[in-house]
Amino acid sequence: MPDAYADLGAMLREPRDIVFDAQLAHGTELAPFLRGLLGAGYRDQMRASSLVGRWRHMKDQLDHLFWLN
């Protein structure tokens, strides 16, 4: 797997069709495929988003809430 990121902000700022080629041949390099698939949303490096941590915190709070009831 390539060390790559999907930049959802860029994908929303510069929308385009996402076309998935189901005929991806075995042994094809994945990075060029992802670049073509995600377009402006493909990043080699990117600052980590705090969103995942915030979602995990909300999930933990909900799990605790339902456990108490």
Query: Rounded to the nearest 5 degrees, what angle is found at the Cα of 20, between the Cα atoms of 43 and 10?
Result: 30
- Strand pairing of 42-43 and 5-6? antiparallel
* For range 16-44, the mean pLDDT: 73
Report which of residues 1 and 54 the model is more confident about. 54
pLDDT at 2 > cutoff 70: no
In the chain, the largest separation of any two C-alpha atoms, in whole Å, equals 52
Residue 36's pLDDT band, with cuts at 50, 70 and 90, is confident
* For range 51-61, the mean pLDDT: 86
Nearest residue to 24 via CA among 35, 36, 12, 33? 33
Q: Quick check: helix, strand or coil at residue 43?
A: strand
DSSP single-letter state for residue 50: S
Tokens (6 digits) for 13? 């700022």
Residue 22's pLDDT band, with cuts at 50, 70 and 90, is low
